[in-house]
């Protein structure tokens, strides 16, 4: 078995020398292209078990982190759409209710509590729903940030191993890892949405009372 591996390694080295010589002759002594160097490095890695295992493991993690990040980004996007839908339903409901109150001949100041209660209930349900969805989005964004950071580090390791091959050093690879980027905050977006809902809720409540009681 050892003899077979030695023969294969010798054949591979001879093949590499032959290809390199042809490349140099064909390109007028021009420096060999990056793609050829990468293939040569991959062949070197293939014949060194530790480096081969490291590259395979990092590629597995890259696929894993990529799938996780994409899945969580989709969940976050879906939740944002649900927030838009909630706000839309809230606006439509309040608009329909306000129109019904303004056109009704049966509602007066003494029973203004009825539309006001419905408006308040709709506001509470909407604000609570939006708040809960924002909390889930924030948790997802924290996970996305962490896993995206891990993905970048793993991609860096894999790229460096492919680029350096025999010159690669495990203890040095993370020294040049991508810098940690600050996490984006949802606070401003969340505050704007919730304050807008509170403001419109107050406006609708005041409108119901004014329409019914001022007309009396």
pLDDT digits (tens, 9 = 90+) for 3-60: 555 545 556 566 656 655 655 555 544 455 666 778 888 888 888 899 999 999 999 9
Residues 7 and 69 grouped into a single domain = no
Per residue in 173-193, pLDDT tens?
776 666 666 667 788 888 999
- 67 pLDDT band, cuts 50/70/90, is very high
User: Is there a domain that residue 91 lies in?
Assistant: yes
Predicted local distance difference test score (pLDDT) of residue 23: 55
Residues 22 and 52 grouped into a single domain = no
Structural domain boundaries, residue 3: 1-32
Predicted local distance difference test score (pLDDT) of residue 164: 86
Tell me which residue of 70, 42, 22, 19 sits closest to 164, measured CA to CA: 42
Provide the Cα torsion 116, 122, 124, 126; round to 10°: -150
Predicted local distance difference test score (pLDDT) of residue 210: 83
Query: Which is more confidently placed, 206 or 133?
Result: 133
Predicted local distance difference test score (pLDDT) of residue 73: 94
**CA–CA dist 188, 68 (Å, integer):** 26
Predicted local distance difference test score (pLDDT) of residue 69: 94
**DSSP secondary structure string for all residues of 7-45:** HHHHHHHHHHHHHHHHHHHHTTTPPPPHHHHHHHHHHHH
Residues 28 and 97 grouped into a single domain = no
User: Is there a domain that residue 37 lies in?
Assistant: no
**CA–CA dist 115, 120 (Å, integer):** 8
Residues 101 and 159 grouped into a single domain = yes
Tell me which residue of 67, 56, 61, 60 sits closest to 162, measured CA to CA: 56
pLDDT-wise least confident of 83-97, 145-159, 198-212: 198-212
User: Is there a domain that residue 82 lies in?
Assistant: yes
In eight-state DSSP terms, residue 105 is S
161 burial class (0-12, 13-18, 19+ CB within 10 angstroms)?
buried
* 3-state SS class at 76: helix
Query: What is the count of structural domains for the chain?
Result: 2
How distant, in Å, are the alpha carbons of 102, 106, 207 from that of 212?
8, 10, 9
User: Is there a domain that residue 40 lies in?
Assistant: no
In eight-state DSSP terms, residue 98 is H
User: Is there a domain that residue 38 lies in?
Assistant: no
Percent of the chain with pLDDT over 70: 78
HSE-up (13 A, CA, CB side) for residue 209: 10
């Amino acid at each position: 078995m050892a003899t077979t591996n030695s023969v294969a390694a010798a054949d591979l080295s001879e093949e590499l020398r032959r290809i390199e010589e042809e490349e140099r002759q064909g390109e007028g002594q021009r420096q060999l292209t990056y793609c050829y160097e990468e293939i040569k490095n991959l062949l070197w890695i293939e014949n060194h078990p530790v480096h081969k295992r490291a590259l395979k493991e990092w590629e597995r993690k890259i696929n894993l982190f990529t799938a996780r990040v994409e899945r969580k980004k989709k969940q976050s996007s879906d939740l944002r759409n649900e927030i838009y839908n909630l706000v839309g339903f809230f606006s439509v409901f309040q608009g329909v209710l306000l129109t019904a109150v303004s056109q009704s001949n049966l509602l007066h100041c003494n029973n203004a509590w009825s539309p006001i209660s419905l408006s308040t209930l709709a506001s509470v349900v909407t604000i609570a729903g939006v708040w809960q969805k924002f909390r889930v989005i924030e948790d997802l964004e924290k996970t996305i940030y962490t896993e995206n950071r891990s993905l970048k580090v793993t991609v860096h390791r894999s790229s460096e191993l492919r680029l350096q091959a025999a010159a690669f050093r495990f203890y040095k690879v993370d020294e040049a890892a991508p810098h940690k980027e600050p996490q984006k905050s949802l606070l401003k977006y969340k505050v704007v949405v919730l304050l807008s809902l509170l403001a419109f809720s107050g406006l609708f409540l005041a409108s119901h009372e004014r329409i019914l009681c001022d007309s009396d």
